A and B are shown apart, each in its own frame.
Chain A
């Protein structure tokens, strides 16, 4: 009997162990321990985000003050909405706002058209080698900075530059392209389209690989030509991506290209080329009107984050795309 009893004991132990009511103590401990690691991993990054992104947001108080660097934020006088009221009283402001909107909307629309067109051309080409060569050339400008490109643009469009040299060959008067209010905006817009169309086309090229090839075969059977196939299959196939990119771009409407304009403009073309960002830089930092510059920046920041949220919502709604 004692042996049996012994066996029974083991059996009971085994039974108890395996049907023990679940207590997640061990798992929870482990999870907590992992969480500690996670918190520590996030710590350095969060410190940088807090110092260089969140604290400056606290500095937005300056927009409601008459900030003087000597006195600091705590010592400066509060003036309420005065700085914001000044923005709207400024005659320049409407000019700057319309410049920003016109330049960026043109950039978005033309940029997208060029990118889609280029992607379609690329898709139609049957020669892989040629495709690669062209792609290599076309992506390059995206990776060069506007400083470098501005030097090139300034050389090419200068009074004695290549473009004017060619125009003289055609018997036309030379033009100061970058100093003329008629030419400045087109150059800015087309310059940006030129820099980015190849790179932006990547998304569309990727989208085209998802179009069902049997559609093209069926169309071919029905005797559709190349243009018909593009118009009735490729473009509709790209439509979701086009909608998505449009909505995402909506969030960037107030960013009309600070780097580009800062490097290409001059006081002569403030009338057509000055945008919010360049204005903040000139007035706020160079002109040392810290409070006013902050107020303009604040205005822009609020406006564009609202646009950004709207664009993400629209992208989610119309294209089923979630950024996060």
Chain B
């Protein structure tokens, strides 16, 4: 874990060094150019952009550490008012939160493994030309067809229901088992690997399985990492499949749980509650408590964010298509 962080910082420094090199190339004067007014305006604008993106997140963190009443009055901006960790202590006591958190973790691990295995296994044969692999075109068109056109929400739901996957973790993992976009990303990357490597291995008697494991996978570590990280983020952030495929509240993954608790509560539901339930709900869903939950659910994303940042630029430039 730690060494990858260190790697990240090394990369960061390399980038800085690269910048310095570029400055040198532009001539000595470039680096010592006088700071102009336009530079200052530019910096202010850029930092403005950065701040705009961070403000809601900082505000939420501040609220989660604040006193409940001052949060409810909207007094908290970017710094906690009357600092307290009460809401975090409350989260620890809430069993369902931890349960949902681990269901999400389980889903991420299981889902990412399945996604990676299937997309590698699909991308490799699809990266072959029609002359090397008869029937490739048919497979390719099937894949493209499923990417362009889909059965829609209701029929997919019926299939999952008929397979008796409802209310199991498989309902969250299997319908999206083949991430078509990532398959195409990997396929394009595999196409770029020189053919002579494969031919040499083939002459030495290696079968395609051996070639895939021995040549293609080691050469495409970076793009595999990109795809894996994207899968992790997608699985962690998915909430909608949990909403439609999971019925029992104790099996909800984290995002769905937060969604059902905070966002989904409509006035009719509120009206049908007893006063005790309502009081319980008010206690559970106070502003500070919700913010604390959101902050905790952000932590895994923040943890892998350095890795993400290292790889996703490659991924985007490689695919150059928005998902």
Contact present for B263 and A147 (CB under 8 Å): yes
Contact present for B53 and A141 (CB under 8 Å): yes
Q: Which residue of A lies closest to B19 (CB)?
A: A128
Q: Which residue of B lies closest to A195 (CB)?
A: B53
Task: Digitize A247-291: 1 where CB-to-B-CB distance is under 8 Å, 0 elsewhere.
Answer: 011001000001100111011000000000100110011000010
Number of residues from A at the complex interface, CB < 8 A: 104
Smallest distance from the beta carbon of A254 to chain B beta carbons, Å? Answer: 12
Chain B CB within 8 A of A60 CB: yes
Bound CA–CA A31/B52 (angstroms): 57
Chain B CB within 8 A of A153 CB: yes
B residues in contact with A138, CB < 8 Å: 49-50, 53
Contact present for B291 and A155 (CB under 8 Å): yes
Smallest distance from the beta carbon of B169 to chain A beta carbons, Å? Answer: 16
Chain B contact residues (Cβ within 8 angstroms of A): what range? 35 or more
25 residue pairs of the A-B complex, CB under 8 angstroms, read: A35-B133, A41-B124, A46-B139, A48-B177, A56-B155, A59-B158, A121-B45, A122-B46, A128-B16, A141-B57, A144-B57, A145-B236, A145-B238, A147-B255, A151-B262, A151-B263, A153-B56, A165-B73, A266-B266, A285-B153, A290-B154, A290-B158, A301-B150, A309-B148, A323-B321
Bound CA–CA A45/B153 (angstroms): 21
Contact present for A152 and B56 (CB under 8 Å): yes
Q: Point out the residue from B60, B146, B207 that lies within 8 Å of A34, measured CB to CB.
A: B207
* Segment touching A, from B74-82, B84-92, B218-226, B269-277: B74-82
Q: Point out the residue from B119, B149, B175 that lies within 8 Å of A52, measured CB to CB.
A: B175
A residues in contact with B312, CB < 8 Å: 139, 202
Q: Which residue of B lies closest to A165 (CB)?
A: B74
User: Considering the complex, which residues of chain A in the window 21-52 have a beta carbon less than 8 Å from any beta carbon of chain B?
Assistant: 30-31, 33-35, 37-39, 41-42, 44-46, 48-49, 51-52
* Segment touching B, from A8-16, A88-96, A156-164, A231-239: A156-164
Q: Point out the residue from A134, A145, A160 that lies within 8 Å of B73, measured CB to CB.
A: A160
Q: Point out the residue from A39, A45, A141 that lies within 8 Å of B118, measured CB to CB.
A: A45
Q: Point out the residue from A141, A150, A152, A290 that lies within 8 Å of B59, measured CB to CB.
A: A152
A residues in contact with B266, CB < 8 Å: 266-267
Given contacts A62-B155, A248-B322, contact A53 B150 (CB under 8 A): yes
Given contacts A52-B177, A151-B294, A162-B59, contact A298 B317 (CB under 8 A): no
Contact present for A42 and B320 (CB under 8 Å): no
A residues in contact with B258, CB < 8 Å: 147-148, 151
Q: What are the 7 A-B residue pairs with the smallest beta carbon separation, nearest first?
A: A56-B151, A59-B155, A297-B152, A128-B19, A145-B237, A165-B74, A38-B125
Given contacts A34-B208, A155-B63, A203-B316, contact A56 B159 (CB under 8 A): yes
Residue numbers of A with Cβ under 8 A of B are: 30-31, 33-35, 37-39, 41-42, 44-46, 48-49, 51-60, 62, 118, 121-122, 124-141, 143-156, 158, 160-162, 164-165, 194, 198, 200, 202-203, 206, 226, 245, 248-249, 252, 258-259, 262-264, 266-267, 277, 280-281, 284-285, 290, 293-294, 297-298, 300-302, 305, 308-309, 321, 323-324
Smallest distance from the beta carbon of A214 to chain B beta carbons, Å? Answer: 12
Chain A CB within 8 A of B140 CB: yes
Contact present for B178 and A49 (CB under 8 Å): yes
Contact present for A293 and B56 (CB under 8 Å): no
A residues in contact with B117, CB < 8 Å: 44
Q: Point out the residue from B39, B73, B207 that lies within 8 Å of A126, measured CB to CB.
A: B39
* Segment touching A, from B93-101, B105-113, B301-309: B301-309
Smallest distance from the beta carbon of B191 to chain A beta carbons, Å? Answer: 11
Bound CA–CA A280/B156 (angstroms): 13
Bound CA–CA A146/B56 (angstroms): 13
Smallest distance from the beta carbon of B86 to chain A beta carbons, Å? Answer: 17
A residues in contact with B119, CB < 8 Å: 45
A residues in contact with B149, CB < 8 Å: 57, 301-302, 305
Bound CA–CA A280/B154 (angstroms): 8
Q: Point out the residue from B76, B262, B301 that lies within 8 Å of A154, measured CB to CB.
A: B262
Bound CA–CA A248/B320 (angstroms): 10
Contact present for B208 and A38 (CB under 8 Å): yes
Bound CA–CA A179/B105 (angstroms): 35
A residues in contact with B20, CB < 8 Å: 128
Contact present for B146 and A206 (CB under 8 Å): no
Contact present for A152 and B57 (CB under 8 Å): yes
A residues in contact with B60, CB < 8 Å: 151-152, 155
Contact present for A249 and B322 (CB under 8 Å): yes
Bound CA–CA A245/B16 (angstroms): 30
Q: Which of B49, B121, B155: most chain A Cβ within 10 A?
A: B155
Given contacts A137-B53, A140-B57, contact A162 B132 (CB under 8 A): no
Task: Digitize B184-220: 1 where CB-to-A-CB distance is under 8 Å, 0 elsewhere.
Answer: 1000000000000000001000011100100000000
Contact present for A48 and B134 (CB under 8 Å): no
Bound CA–CA A73/B74 (angstroms): 53
Q: Point out the residue from B128, B134, B240 that lies within 8 Å of A259, measured CB to CB.
A: B240
User: Considering the complex, which residues of chain B in the window 17-76 have a beta carbon less than 8 Å from any beta carbon of chain A?
Assistant: 18-20, 23, 33, 38-39, 42-43, 45-47, 49-54, 56-57, 59-60, 63, 72-76
